[in-house]
Amino acid sequence: MATATHNLSHYDPTSVPSGAGRRFALVISEWNLEITDALRRGARETLLRHGVTEADIVEEWVPGSFELASGAQFLLEAGGLDGVICLGSVVRGETPHFDFVCQGTTQGIMAVSLKFSKPVIFGVLTDDTMEQARDRSGGRHGNKGVDCAVAALKMAALKDRY
């Protein structure tokens, strides 16, 4: 597994553009709340660490990961955002539901990003077990929320350059 050699919370802070003056939204799935709230905290703390103010972080909760794309679209339609970070957790079960949710969520988030030409960051853990999800939401592999906030800051800066 790729995460085994990469801690999701480790990055070079000097490589991250300032978030001062930027406005981001976090769209968070209520499903697997233990995991998604940890992802939310990691993303929020990282945005704040890089200059985004509390007032410039919008948080909205949606029922599940499948609804993340719609939530991101609603917020981008309202305007005034530099990007959206979608945070969710889908844990494999005994039916093909996992595959359908993961595929639809992935495609939906990408479609919203391309439609609005804004960073819409995919922060959805797709794990086989809750233990793996915990490991990636603040456990031994770090916090994917941190990784996603860094990606949002970098992508917003890239957009501004062109």
Per-residue pLDDT tens for 59-104? 999 999 999 999 999 999 999 999 999 999 999 988 899 999 999 9
Q: Let me know if 97 is a catalytic residue.
A: yes
Catalytic-labelled residue, pool 6, 10, 97, 141: 97
Q: Provide the token pair at 131.
A: 């233990």
Whole-angstrom Cα distance, residue 36 to residue 157? 26
Query: Which residues are registered as beta bridge partners of 58?
Result: 25
**pLDDT on residue 5:** 74
Where residue 158 falls among pLDDT bands split at 50, 70, 90?
very high
Query: Distance of CA 107 to CAs 1, 68, 69, 145, Å?
Result: 22, 11, 9, 20
Averaged pLDDT of the chain = 96
List Cβ neighbours of 20 (8 Å cut-off, separation of 6 or more): 51, 52
Predicted pLDDT at 154: 98
Q: What is the CATH number of domain 33-161?
A: 3.40.50.960
In 11-136, DSSP assigns E strands to 24-29, 57-62, 83-91, 120-127
pLDDT above 90 for 4: no
Q: CA separation (Å) from 64 to 39, 70, 118?
A: 14, 11, 22
At 17-26, the pLDDT tens digits run: 999 999 999 9
pLDDT band at residue 2 under the 50/70/90 scheme: low
* DSSP H or E stretch at residue 139: strand 137-139
Helix axis angle, 33-49 relative to 144-161, nearest 10°? 50
Q: Where are the domains of the chain?
A: 33-161
